[in-house]
Structure 1
C-alpha cells in the first residue's frame, strides 16, 4: 500500500492546540517550531483519535505501525521509525536526514533499520 502525509502538526506549548501546516522544516531535533518530546518526530495513521502526532498518514494506524524498524523517506526527510514502546499509538522517529515535509508527500521505505 502506498502511504502519504495527510496532515502535519506542531505542538509548541504543552497541552495547547496543535498548529497545522501544509509543510514543515524538519531538523535533527524534530519539526521546527515543535516543543521537544520523547522522540524527534511522531507518526500515526488517520484513524487514531486525539493524537498529538506530528505526521498523520493516510493509512490506518495498524499499517503505519507495521513500518516499525524501517527507514522511511518522506519528502526530503529520512526517518528511522520504531514502536513507541508504550500505550501511545503510532511510531516514534529519529531524523536521519533533515529537510522539508509537505502534505501529500509519499512515504517510501528506504531500508530495514535492523
Structure 2
C-alpha cells in the first residue's frame, strides 16, 4: 500500500507502566531497543484503531483492514523489514518478527512487500 506512514513510535520498558513516545527507534532482531521483550518482537496498529489501551510499537496510517491483510506478508518501514505473522487476541493490530533490523523514524513510508 503506498502512501502509508509511521504516525508514532512507542516503547514500553516496564510492564504496566506508561510507554515512551519516540521520534526515532532502533529496531533490533528481537524488537525495539529499550522495549521490554514480550509475546512478539513488534506490534503495529492502524491509526484508526488506536484507543487509550493501545500499546503497539508502531502506529501507522495504513487502514486497519489493509494491515490485517498483511498477515503472512512482509512490511517495509524505511529500511526495516518485518514479517507480519499474527493477530493479537483482544487488541487491535498485528504482530511481526524482524527480518531486517535498522532505524525507523516517524514519517517513514510503510509498504507491504509480499
Flag structure 2 segments of 5+ consecutive residues without an equivalent.
none
Matched with 1:52 is 55
Match of 1:16? Answer: 17
Pair 1:108-2:111 in alignment: yes
Q: CA RMSD in A?
A: 1.3
- Output aligned runs, 1:77-96, within 5 Å: 77-96=80-99
- Normalising by structure 1, we get a TM-score of 0.90
Alignment coverage as a number of residue pairs: 111
Give the drift of 1:51: 0.5
SS at structure 2 position matched to 1:14:
coil
CA distance in 2, matches of 1:85, 1:21: 23
Residues 72, 110 of structure 1: 8 Å contact kept: yes
Distance, in Å, in 2 between the alignment partners of 1:25 and 1:95 is 12
Q: Cα deviations across residues 34-90 of structure 1 (Å, max 9, x unaligned)?
A: 000100000001122120000000133233212111111101111000232522211
CA distance in 1, matches of 2:74, 2:67: 13
Partner Cα distance (1:56, 1:95) in 2: 16
Q: Residue 64 of structure 1: SS of its match in structure 2?
A: helix
C-alpha displacement of 1:6: 0.3
Instruction: Kindly indicate whether the alpha-carbon contact (under 8 Å) linking 2:68 and 2:87 is maintained by their aligned counterparts in 1.
Output: no
Maintained 8 Å contact 1:7/1:56: yes
